[in-house]
């Protein structure tokens, strides 16, 4: 069982101050999600986990879908924090550093990660916080692309580069656990190095342009 990404205290530390109920419910939902999976998640189950009345969640979430959206937003916030922390110790803020942090997050929080993208798939886009602000994961990828030489004035091209990088990390996160890759991971000395090697090849692939 993985630890909730948004909570620093043990699950049994349930007391909250007035005004913090929404956050307490989201943390409780993350614990239920990672422990029992999405099928076990309900407003009643979250209330029970948080130690509040069954009616309490309805003051903050109109239904399960609303709760899942809040969980997804918290997840993308946590992903952005994870990438930011990785970049903070990398003076060059390399794309591979961000990619490894992304894959680690996905592997450490599988149920949360799945909800994040299930919610986004059915929405108009990923939560705004993913893109906005210096701490947003997508924004950090954008800044790295600009440092690498992508023209910040060409908005469409910049977005395509960023989406390409994001999708690459997402694809690796989905497949890195495949048993067939384990011999290569062991040969390279670990999963992080394996991810770095994959990302390096994606970013510097030989041109396939035959024109």
Q: What is the pLDDT of residues 57-68, one digit of tens each?
A: 999 999 999 999
- Whether the CB-CB separation of 134 and 177 falls below 8 Å is answered with no
Q: What does the domain layout of the chain look like in residue ranges?
A: 1-61, 73-203
pLDDT in tens, 114-173: 999 999 886 665 555 555 555 678 888 898 889 888 999 999 999 999 999 999 999 999
- Whether the CB-CB separation of 86 and 97 falls below 8 Å is answered with yes
**CA 175, 178, 180, 183: dihedral to nearest 10 degrees?**
100
- C-alpha 177/C-alpha 125 separation (Å) is 27
pLDDT band at 15 (very low <50, low <70, confident <90, very high): very low
pLDDT of residue 87: 87
The structure tokens listed for 51 are 């130690």
CATH for the stretch 73-203: 1.10.357.10
Mind giving me the DSSP string for 84-117?
Answer: HHHHHT-TT--HHHHHHHHHHHHHHSHHHHHHHH
The mean predicted confidence, pLDDT, of the chain is: 83
pLDDT of residue 20: 86
Q: Flag whether pLDDT at 5 surpasses 60.
A: no
User: Span 34-59, mean pLDDT?
Assistant: 93
How far apart, in Å, do the first and last CA atoms of the chain sit?
Answer: 52
* Half-sphere exposure at residue 39, Cβ-oriented, CA atoms within 13 angstroms: 1
Domain 1-61 matching CATH 1.10.10.60: the answer reads yes
Instruction: Please report where in the chains the tokens 């342009």 appear, as a residue.
Output: 209
């Amino acid at each position: 069982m993985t630890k909730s990404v948004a909570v620093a205290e043990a699950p049994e530390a349930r007391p909250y101050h007035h005004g913090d109920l929404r956050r307490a419910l989201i943390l409780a939902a993350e614990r239920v999600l990672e422990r029992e999976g999405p099928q076990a998640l309900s407003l009643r189950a979250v209330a029970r986990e948080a130690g509040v009345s069954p009616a309490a969640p309805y003051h903050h979430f109109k239904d399960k879908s609303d709760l899942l959206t809040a969980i997804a937003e918290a997840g993308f916030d946590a992903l952005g924090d994870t990438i930011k922390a990785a970049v903070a110790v990398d003076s060059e803020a390399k794309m591979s550093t961000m990619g490894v942090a992304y894959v680690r997050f996905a592997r450490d929080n599988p149920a949360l990660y799945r909800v994040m993208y299930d919610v986004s798939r059915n929405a108009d886009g990923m939560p705004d916080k993913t893109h906005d602000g210096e701490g947003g994961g997508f924004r950090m990828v954008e800044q790295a692309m600009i440092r690498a030489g992508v023209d910040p004035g060409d908005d469409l091209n910049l977005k395509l580069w960023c989406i390409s990088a994001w999708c690459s990390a997402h694809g690796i996160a989905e497949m890195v656990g495949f048993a067939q890759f384990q011999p290569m991971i062991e040969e390279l000395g670990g999963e992080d190095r394996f991810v770095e090697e994959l990302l390096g090849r994606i970013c510097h692939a030989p041109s396939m342009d035959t024109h």
